[in-house]
């Protein structure tokens, strides 16, 4: 399967469009998205562009660059549909794909390797998820990948050094302004370790530090200015809140979501459909005599492992924090794929073919059986979704059979690109079926509360903790009565109150001198109470509280 190298960037752009754009607004807003979207909405409504807020309270945990971009998208396309609010993440995924491709092409001098590695990256589970999600991980790592590419060009090119330095400084600053030092630590530092160890910071010769001194100074100055100005501003103009939030964040690193050192050791699983290939690519004793470019393989392997080790040192751990690891892992897996593209055939040892059949055979099998499994699960809920299901049920088995055919003929390249098509098919035809799985007969969004407010002219309060998803659906800040371990009783004689169902006894204790009447509920769970994944955080009892 050959096509001209000049078309590779267009092929990457096409795959990005298929993977990241369709059905962008179909999934419900998750907790992190809700926090980010609320902040963007309050930027637009309340003009909180610098001293950012969430639910009318200071929110300085994350720098504001992605929120600014999201707010501008919301200003242009509206805030009612989540698709436009997620669109900036799509742009970041495209930026990541482009800079990743050109970096891979430069360091390997192999355009096909760079293309395949980019396709591996874009179809990896967490990259695909992050590029369709209104969270800021994709922003910080996409900008950092841009910085890495520009720094590589700065050290390995004789031309445009000032330009590469300025661009690198911009991208470094933008990365820091997206999520602080996260990507600097988890992606850039491991890159420097691997690049310095394997390449000595130069592609073929020792870099000339005398010629690089001015560009490096400019790089550092630009990145420092862009990275620091917002932090300086909030510390000058809201010192107390900035210090309190910083103290809380530092404490969280040591005490929140603490996991053991080995928690990330199964990191290759996060590559999703490429799990088997990613695992094999880590087997240095097996691949060191097989990969066509051993130096490149050592670099990508060390970059991957250094990233995992550095992340493992931090006590706070979450699976999504592994996203930066997938970037060098895709380059590393690309080395293995390049070996298979060149060597797979009748002369290959039968034992070596086992993981190959495992990798592509699993995808082919999934393509054949998924329509049957999907029908068994969704048959009662397919009304209105039959077209999507039929398209999926036709496309996946065809792709599965073609993958098996490619395996039998030894056409690993064909099997690889058919797997990319498999992932695109899941997005195009499978994602709309997620609505068929969202069946909650008692679903009631918090936005419906406005009808009650308009008819009664009474204020509404949250009792103890405002869930971001509910605030986002409500469309405005929702005052919370619980603050600093005490409750603040409203001055009004009559008002509405939202509370977790498990806090009913506490509601009666706090308002023992009031008349309390439960008048309804709000439930924003996409699934019913008896289904897996039901979250009590998205449910509220609704009370009318009035003076006796």
pLDDT of residue 150: 97
Domain stops at, among 300, 316, 343: 343
Examine the domain organization and report whether 357 and 292 are in the same domain: no
Q: What is the reported pLDDT for 449?
A: 95
Q: Report pLDDT for 253.
A: 65
pLDDT of residue 254: 64
Mean pLDDT value across residues 526-537: 84
Q: What would the pLDDT profile of 130-145 be if each residue is shown by its tens digit?
A: 999 999 999 999 999 9
Q: Is the pLDDT of residue 435 over 90?
A: no
pLDDT of residue 397 exceeding 80, the answer is yes
**Pair (367, 455) in one structural domain:** no
Same structural domain, 362 and 476 = no
Pair 179, 156 in one domain: yes
Of the listed ranges 115-129, 294-308, 381-395, the one predicted with least confidence: 381-395
Is 268 found in the same domain as 140?
yes
CA angle 278, 284, 290 (to 5 degrees): 90
pLDDT at 252 over 70: no
- Coil, strand or helix: which one is 520? strand
Q: Which of 437, 468, 494 is the last residue of a domain?
A: 437
CA 70 to each of CA 36, 65, 256: distance values in angstroms, whole numbers, following the listed order: 9, 9, 28
389 & 511 share domain = no
Which of 322, 343, 364 corresponds to the end of one domain?
343
pLDDT tens digits, one per residue of 27-45: 899 999 999 999 999 999 9
| pLDDT per residue as tens digits for the range 471-490 | 999 999 999 999 878 888 89
Helix count and strand count (H, E) for the chain: 23, 8
The token pair that represents 118 in the structure block: 């980019």
Q: To the nearest whole number, what is the mean pLDDT of the chain?
A: 92
What pLDDT score does 256 carry?
A: 64
Beta 486-487 vs 482-483: how paired, if at all?
antiparallel
Helix segments in 182-208, DSSP class H: 182-183, 189-199
Alpha-carbon span 116 to 110, nearest angstrom:
10
Same domain (yes/no): 392, 532: no
Does position 1 have pLDDT exceeding 60, yes or no?
Answer: no
Contact 334, 271 (CB under 8 A): no
Residue range(s) defining the domain that contains residue 476: 446-547
Within this chain, do residues 54 and 184 fall inside the same structural domain, yes or no?
A: yes
Quick one: average pLDDT of 387-410?
95
Q: Are residues 398 and 531 in the same domain?
A: no
Radius of gyration of the chain (CA): 26
Kindly give the interhelix angle for 8-20 and 111-122, rounded to the nearest 10 degrees.
0
Which pLDDT band, with edges at 50, 70 and 90, does 207 fall under? Answer: low
Give every CB contact of residue 220 below 8 A, 6+ residues apart in sequence: 169
Please tell me the distance from the alpha carbon of residue 52 to that of residue 75, in angstroms, as a whole number.
17
């Amino acid at each position: 399967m050959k096509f001209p190298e000049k078309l590779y960037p267009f092929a990457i752009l096409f795959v990005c469009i298929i993977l990241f754009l369709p059905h962008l607004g179909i999934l419900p807003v998750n907790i992190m998205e809700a926090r980010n979207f609320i902040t963007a909405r309050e930027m637009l409504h309340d003009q909180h562009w610098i001293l950012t807020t969430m639910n009318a309270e200071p929110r300085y945990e994350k720098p504001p660059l992605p929120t600014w971009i999201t707010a501008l998208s919301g200003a242009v396309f509206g805030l009612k549909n989540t698709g436009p609010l997620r669109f900036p993440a799509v742009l970041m995924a495209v930026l990541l794909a482009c800079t990743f491709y050109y970096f891979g092409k430069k360091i390997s001098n192999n355009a096909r390797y760079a293309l395949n590695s980019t396709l591996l990256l874009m179809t990896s589970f967490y990259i695909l998820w992050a590029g369709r999600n209104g969270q800021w991980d994709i922003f910080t790592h996409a900008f950092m990948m841009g910085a890495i590419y520009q720094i590589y060009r700065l050290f390995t090119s004789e031309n445009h050094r000032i330009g590469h330095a300025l661009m690198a400084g911009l991208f470094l600053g933008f990365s820091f302004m997206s999520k602080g030092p996260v990507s600097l630590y988890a992606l850039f530092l491991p890159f420097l370790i691997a690049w310095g160890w394997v390449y000595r910071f130069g592609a073929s010769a020792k870099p000339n530090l005398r010629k690089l001194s001015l560009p490096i100074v400019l790089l550092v100055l630009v990145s420092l200015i862009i990275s620091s100005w917002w932090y300086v501003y909030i510390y000058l103009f809201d010192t107390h809140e900035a210090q309190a939030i910083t103290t809380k964040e530092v404490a969280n690193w040591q005490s929140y979501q603490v996991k053991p050192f080995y928690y990330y050791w199964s990191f290759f699983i996060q590559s999703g459909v490429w799990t088997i290939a990613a695992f094999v690519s880590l087997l240095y004793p097996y691949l060191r005599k097989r990969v066509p470019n051993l130096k490149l393989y050592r670099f990508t392997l060390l970059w991957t492992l250094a990233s995992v080790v550095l992340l493992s040192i931090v006590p706070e751990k979450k699976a999504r924090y592994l996203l930066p690891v997938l970037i060098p892992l895709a380059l590393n897996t690309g080395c293995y794929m390049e070996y298979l593209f060149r060597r797979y055939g009748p002369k290959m040892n039968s034992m070596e073919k086992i993981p190959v059949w495992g990798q592509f055979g699993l995808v082919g099998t999934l393509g054949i059986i998924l329509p049957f499994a999907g029908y068994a699960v969704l048959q009662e809920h397919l009304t209105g979704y039959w077209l999507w299901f039929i398209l999926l049920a036709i496309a996946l088995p065809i792709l599965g059979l073609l993958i098996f055919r490619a395996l039998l003929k030894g056409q690993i390249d064909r099997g690889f690109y058919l797997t990319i098509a498999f992932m695109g098919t899941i997005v195009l035809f499978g994602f709309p079926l997620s609505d068929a799985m969202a069946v909650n007969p008692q679903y009631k969004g918090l936005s419906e509360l406005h009808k009650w407010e308009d008819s009664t002219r009474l204020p509404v309060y949250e009792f103890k903790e405002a869930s971001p998803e509910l605030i986002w659906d409500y469309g405005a800040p929702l005052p919370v009565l619980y603050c600093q371990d005490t409750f603040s009783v409203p001055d009004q004689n009559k008002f509405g109150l939202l509370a977790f169902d498990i806090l009913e006894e506490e509601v009666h204790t706090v308002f023992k001198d009031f008349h309390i009447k439960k008048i309804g509920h709000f439930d924003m769970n996409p699934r019913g109470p008896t289904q897996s994944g039901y979250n009590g955080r998205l449910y509220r009892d609704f009370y009318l509280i009035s003076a006796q």
